[in-house]
Structure 1
Amino acid sequence: MKKKSFLNGYPSLLAIITLFFTTITIAQQTNMAPQPENQFWRNVQFGGGLGLGFGSGYTDISIAPSAIYNLNEYAALGLGLQYKYLKQKNYYASHFYGGSIIGLLNPIRQIQLSAELEQLRVNVNLVGSNSNSQDYWNTALFVGAGYRSGNATIGARYNVLDDKNSIYGSAFMPFVRVYF
């Protein structure tokens, strides 16, 4: 006498169970596959500066956000925006706004070289003068060097386009730069 197997009577059930587990296995493998990560945003860092200065009849407020894209561990390119409000009571009130293109080079981990082309619109309202306002563009090209530690760099920069009409008091300026 022939022995009956449990599955001999249920070939359709065996096929359905096999199909069910195969489908679950494939679905789990598909869902477990790593999603491609956007490499662009992994290389972007944000930073900038804020400034507040108050004195006897003097106000200085500035905001300068920026972002850089790290091309590799040695070089980065970026863009910056800037707005500044200056007021000296009974003399002038001015607004500066514009943008910049930033290039950073790190020949070694602790040293950062920089170049920044800045274009600002300057609006000055003079008090007690025949010409009550001045509107013009100011262009600056800064080259600089600094000591870098982690996300922060401290150094100095020089405006190679400095002239007697510059909005800056000096062509040479110290800076602190932080990117996260």
Structure 2
Amino acid sequence: MTVLSQEKPLPKAKTGEFWDHVQFGGGFGISAGNDYTDITIAPSAIYNFDDNFALGLGLQYSHLKQRNFYNSNIVGGSVIGLFSPIEEIQFSLEVEEIHVNNTYSDLYNNIKKSFWNTGLYVGGGYRADNVTIGARFNVLFDKNKDIYGSAFMPFVRVFF
């Protein structure tokens, strides 16, 4: 007579399990020149539900200044969903809400504009490991109200 027995493995410790699925990334940019400064800081994080789906949050701050002409501060956040049907392809859907404070200066007066700008971006790109290169399109773009110059934006997305 043969008796077979299987022991149930002990459950994995839950500590840190959430953080095993989180990746951090974002962007940083600085540009300076003839009386011109542009600084952007945009950290982000995503949670990978599995190999195909991820959901994340991002923050953004930008300061742009052209001496004696223009000053802008932009602050906001975004929610992004990522879908990879295969490892090399990544699709994204992102909602961005930013608050814009602009001041236009000249010799006579200052004109100030303060407004909220909402973007709904549909995008796609080629992914290699933690880097995705692609483009996104703002379906809510209005050239008369939008802070960006175009609805189409190329991107490089990196998560660690």
Q: TM-score, normalised by structure 1?
A: 0.78
CA distance in 1, matches of 2:35, 2:140: 31
Measured after TM superposition, the shift of residue 91 of structure 1 is 1.0
| 2:138 aligned partner | 159
CA distance in 1, matches of 2:32, 2:21: 37
The C-alpha deviation readout for 1:42-77, integer Å capped at 9, x for no partner, is 111100000111222221100000000001110000
If asked which structure has higher relative contact order (CA below 8 Å, sep 6+), I would say 2
* 1:173 equivalent among 153, 156, 159: 153
The C-alpha deviation readout for 1:54-112, integer Å capped at 9, x for no partner, is 22222110000000000111000000000000111221101000100010000110000
CA distance in 1, matches of 2:128, 2:157: 11
Cα gap change, 1:172 to 1:118, in 2 (>3 Å): same
Alignment: residue pair count: 148
Query: Bigger CA drift: 129-138 or 170-179?
Result: 129-138
| 1:96 aligned partner | 74
Report the structure number with the largest CA radius of gyration. Answer: 1
CA distance in 2, matches of 1:155, 1:41: 27
| 1:146 aligned partner | 125
Q: TM-score, normalised by structure 2?
A: 0.87
Query: Bigger CA drift: 48-57 or 149-158?
Result: 48-57
Root-mean-square deviation over aligned CA pairs = 1.6
Between the aligned residues of both structures, percent identity stands at: 57
Larger proportion of strand: 2
Q: Please list every run of at least 4 consecutive aligned residues from structure 1 whose deviation after the TM superposition is greater than 2 angstroms.
A: 33-38, 128-132
Q: Structure 2 unaligned runs (5+)?
A: 1-10
Cα gap change, 1:39 to 1:58, in 2 (>3 Å): same
| 2:18 aligned partner | 40
